[in-house]
Structure 1
Amino acid sequence: MTTSTGAAAARPLTAEESGRMDHRRVIEALTGLLLAMLTAFLSSTIVSNALPTIIRELHGTQSQYTWVITATLLASTASTPIWGKLADLISKKLLVQLAIGIFTVGSVLAGLSQSVDTLIAWRVLQGLGLGGLQSLVVIVIAAMISPRERGKYTGPISAVMSVATVGGPLLGGVIVDTSWLGWRWCFFVCVPLAVISLLVVQRTLNLPLVKRQVRIDYLGAALIAAGVSALLIWVTLAGNQFAWGSSTSLLLIGLGVVLLAAAVFVETRAAEPIIPLRLFRDRTTALATIASIAVGTALFGSAVFLGQYFQIARGYSPTAAGLLTLPMIIGSMVSATGSGILITRLGKWKSFLVAGSILMVAGFGLLGTIDHTTDMVLLGAFLFVLGVGLGMTMQNLVLAVQNTVAATDLGAASSTVSFFRSLGGTIGVSVLGAVLANRVSSLTTDGLSAAGVQVPAGSSSAGIGNLDQLPGPIAEIVRAAYGDATATILLVAAALSIITVVAILFIKEKPLLTTTGMERQRAEEATEDAKATEEAGSTEEAAPARA
């Protein structure tokens, strides 16, 4: 017994035993994850510049334009905490593969859509897979790499995100501008990439499986998804399909509140809650969540409409519209990579979060001054400032949370932050989309009146869906209305970003840990086992005494 123990102690520990993977294995695993991340982000951004064309060809409306985006965000948002909790309980590799598979099926069916309503339905399926990929990649990286070392890998991660963010709109623009392809290939082109990423993940991602008793809170998951969906459907449709104060609005609000209240009740009693409420007792997690909601609302809600601004208001092609976002992407990539390296070197992260959030407010504020005639060089400078702020803020908010919570809660905590950021994004797209539509309608009416054109009843139908059928002078008035109205929603985004600054200022900085998520989980389990053994021993000693 002593000999075998000594031999075991003499040989090097495997990754499964130590909980730490060597650099080569981390790079191999990261390759598959980044390929999956590239596929996920590419699918999100490739549609942005193609949407105006898709809506025109399928004779959609501005409301449906918003819903094509919102449907995916809604599905990914509602499913994110579920994916995250499952990652704490079962194989992360299996979950990544499942998410890729769901996403692939959704992409194929979306590309076959014959109407906007059908497209929206299959975008929901895409969103389920997308939610898994976006949350699981962050969770797996946290398991493999310590918070202190993660800055070294920020460069490749930021590069993939930047390539996807730039390449998606560009690729979508090229596909739409190529007559023999058509917009459907914006969905089909992601399928081979997803299949390749599935094969690479199967070969390279070999995380040690920590066996735990699986207790999935199905009721909590259903209540959270249903409650969030009810409120988001209300936010999206109110003011368009029905009035804000109508009985339908009240019904959806009441349903959402009741379902979420029931979810909170269930989560307080579940053995393995989907969103452990104890996480919010931690100051860093609570404040990072608030900051993430504001970031998501501002970022997703405004970024979705930038492609529309470039194409509708400024008349650029989808390809050119993608190129015009380069300043923001370059700024984000440079600041994310630079701040990551400095965080690893210094072990400090809060100052980068504060600076990034302030630059976000500045960037959105500057963009809030644009109109349909703004100089494009100046606009590019504004986008660069915004990109620098986003690069220093988004990833580091998750890092701050992962550095604080217990290893067994890494998945739930990471996905909770992502969940609330996506929730904010979904609300942002819906609310800012409604603000944009109302502002466009108002400016269009004013423009037509100023031009001496009598505004007939139902003139609000003049918009992106039938822009190509409008007479030249009227189309120019509508384009100008879109350009001027975009500034309004960007100013709203700037105001929301102030919440991020305030929340980050109150976060208390904690030194970055140097152990990986796997190492921490091993140590926590060893502590629990030792405690259980000690308690069992105490019980056995007390038994004879009582006898």
Structure 2
Amino acid sequence: MRGDLLRCGGGGREWGWGSPASLGMYAIGLVGVVLFILQERRMGDAALLPLRLFRRPVFRVATLVTVIQGAGMFGAMMSLPLYLQIVKGATPTQAGLQMLPLTLGIMVASLGSGTVISRTGRYKAFAVAGLGLMAAALFGLSTIGAATPLGVVMAIAFVIGLGLGASMQTLQLAATNDVAPQDIGVATSSATFFRQIGGTAGTAVFLSILFGTVGDRIAAAVRSAMATPSYVAALAQHPEFAQQLANGGVDVNDTSFLAHLDPVLARPILDGFAGSMTTVFLVGGIVLTVGFALVWLLKEKPLSDKSAMEQRSEQEALALAH
């Protein structure tokens, strides 16, 4: 069987990383970022995102880690449902329900960390622990395969949720606590903005890795399976599928055929998908490990016991007094 009989379409295949179209998109993005920075610099304090905020070390580190966290978070949240639907055969609704442990983890960690932070005023430990849990969980997902019990996958998803719940709002708290009262709104919105930027980039890169490797992984798995008597016997019982392989392979852009395919014939395809997804999770774990290393640089400033409105009123009163 030739290696090109099982390929998947999509951007990961049609546009390589070094293709003219991709290079053009990189150039457009770079120009857009430069123009945005120049415009924000020209607007000064009236800018949507005043650049002076990045001179503050806590805000700068929190923002950088937020971008990395967003990449890992959205990469996992986009890839895990694909694993559940394609490899485990879940419907979209079932996959959504199977992701509930992740949501539960977010709720438990958010409520728990919020309660402790409000009582102690200490928050850095939650950011560190959250990034560490997320990185460990993605490394855990990089070991799963087609035969991994669903309970194990859901348990790892719960750990991802714990990491997200412990670190996501904590990083935002650190950023807003480091700025002047009049900049708290900007700091809050910028945390969401940069998390989405990281998530957009992470989703694009991770799905590109997935669709860029899955064809070769499936082809290798099918070639290996063809050396086993059980697979050869199953092919003999399904000549239409054997003919499909001989005529150019299966279209893995539409995996609905797997639900009706002989399990023996479907197994190498599922193994190929699982292998590609473990690569995605491994890359995500490495990305979040970088974030885990950087979050240690976050300086923990004492939390203010006054609201932004009270702090601003005090500043205005001091300004009038002088």
In structure 1, the residue matched to 2:283 is 492
* 1:458/1:411 CA distance change after superposition, 3 Å: farther
Is the counterpart of residue 306 in structure 1 residue 306 in structure 2? Answer: no
Q: Secondary structure of the residue that 1:335 maps to in structure 2?
A: helix
Letter in 1 for 2:33: L
Deviation at 1:423?
0.9
Deviation at 1:404?
1.1
Q: Which moved more, 1:379-388 or 1:486-495?
A: 379-388
Letter in 2 for 1:432: F
In structure 1, the residue matched to 2:254 is 465
Deviation at 1:467?
3.2
Over the aligned positions, Cα root-mean-square deviation in angstroms equals 2.4
1:89-100 matches, within 5 Å, as: none
In structure 1, the residue matched to 2:303 is 512
Letter in 1 for 2:202: G
Deviation at 1:477?
3.3
Deviation at 1:261?
1.5
In structure 1, the residue matched to 2:31 is 258
In structure 1, the residue matched to 2:160 is 386
Does structure 2 conserve the Cα–Cα contact (< 8 Å) formed by 1:62 and 1:465? no
Does structure 2 conserve the Cα–Cα contact (< 8 Å) formed by 1:332 and 1:388? yes
In structure 2, the residue matched to 1:51 is none
Is the counterpart of residue 502 in structure 1 residue 293 in structure 2? Answer: yes
Unaligned runs of 5+ in 2: 1-7, 227-241
Q: Deviations over 1:43-80 (max 9, x none)?
A: xxxxxxxxxxxxxxxxxx874xxxxxxxxxxxxxxxxx
Q: TM-score under structure 2 normalisation?
A: 0.84
Distance in 2 between residues matched to 1:488 and 1:401, nearest whole Å: 32
Q: Secondary structure of the residue that 2:43 maps to in structure 1?
A: coil
Distance in 2 between residues matched to 1:355 and 1:470, nearest whole Å: 40
In structure 2, the residue matched to 1:37 is none
Deviation at 1:421?
1.1
Is the counterpart of residue 410 in structure 1 residue 201 in structure 2? Answer: no
Deviation at 1:277?
0.8
Letter in 1 for 2:17: W
1:361-400 matches, within 5 Å, as: 361-400=135-174
Distance in 1 between residues matched to 2:56 and 2:177, nearest whole Å: 12
Deviation at 1:310?
1.0
In structure 2, the residue matched to 1:356 is 130
Deviation at 1:457?
7.4
Q: Secondary structure of the residue that 1:364 maps to in structure 2?
A: helix
Letter in 1 for 2:110: A
Q: Which moved more, 1:412-421 or 1:283-292?
A: 412-421
In structure 2, the residue matched to 1:73 is none
Letter in 2 for 1:315: G
* 1:380/1:256 CA distance change after superposition, 3 Å: closer
1:140-219 matches, within 5 Å, as: none
Unaligned runs of 5+ in 1: 1-60, 64-236, 535-547
| Residue 213 (structure 2) aligned to one of 418, 439, 446 | 439
Q: Secondary structure of the residue that 1:408 maps to in structure 2?
A: helix
Deviation at 1:317?
2.9
In structure 2, the residue matched to 1:449 is 223
In structure 1, the residue matched to 2:271 is 480
Q: Deviations over 1:179-234 (max 9, x none)?
A: xxxxxxxxxxxxxxxxxxxxxxxxxxxxxxxxxxxxxxxxxxxxxxxxxxxxxxxx
* 1:395/1:458 CA distance change after superposition, 3 Å: farther
Deviation at 1:325?
2.0
Letter in 1 for 2:82: Q
* 1:438/1:250 CA distance change after superposition, 3 Å: closer
Distance in 2 between residues matched to 1:357 and 1:468, nearest whole Å: 38
In structure 2, the residue matched to 1:322 is 96
Letter in 2 for 1:264: I
In structure 1, the residue matched to 2:106 is 332
Letter in 1 for 2:25: L
Deviation at 1:422?
0.8
Letter in 2 for 1:500: G
Letter in 2 for 1:468: F
Letter in 2 for 1:512: L
In structure 1, the residue matched to 2:15 is 242
Does structure 2 conserve the Cα–Cα contact (< 8 Å) formed by 1:287 and 1:503? yes
Does structure 2 conserve the Cα–Cα contact (< 8 Å) formed by 1:440 and 1:478? no
Deviation at 1:385?
2.0
Q: Secondary structure of the residue that 2:17 maps to in structure 1?
A: coil
Distance in 2 between residues matched to 1:265 and 1:318, nearest whole Å: 44
Letter in 2 for 1:269: R
Distance in 2 between residues matched to 1:518 and 1:410, nearest whole Å: 10
Deviation at 1:291?
0.7
Distance in 1 between residues matched to 2:24 and 2:97, nearest whole Å: 44
Does structure 2 conserve the Cα–Cα contact (< 8 Å) formed by 1:339 and 1:352? yes
Does structure 1 conserve the Cα–Cα contact (< 8 Å) formed by 2:128 and 2:295? yes
* 1:339/1:437 CA distance change after superposition, 3 Å: same
Deviation at 1:316?
2.1
* 1:428/1:376 CA distance change after superposition, 3 Å: same
Distance in 2 between residues matched to 1:253 and 1:516, nearest whole Å: 42
Q: Secondary structure of the residue that 1:250 maps to in structure 2?
A: helix
Does structure 2 conserve the Cα–Cα contact (< 8 Å) formed by 1:314 and 1:483? no
In structure 1, the residue matched to 2:232 is none
Deviation at 1:470?
9.0
Q: Secondary structure of the residue that 1:270 maps to in structure 2?
A: helix
Aligned length: 296
Q: Which has the higher contact order (CA 8 A, sep 6+)?
A: 2
Is the counterpart of residue 268 in structure 1 residue 48 in structure 2? Answer: no
Q: Secondary structure of the residue that 2:42 maps to in structure 1?
A: coil
Does structure 1 conserve the Cα–Cα contact (< 8 Å) formed by 2:225 and 2:268? no
Q: Deviations over 1:5-38 (max 9, x none)?
A: xxxxxxxxxxxxxxxxxxxxxxxxxxxxxxxxxx
Q: TM-score under structure 1 normalisation?
A: 0.51
Does structure 1 conserve the Cα–Cα contact (< 8 Å) formed by 2:49 and 2:190? yes
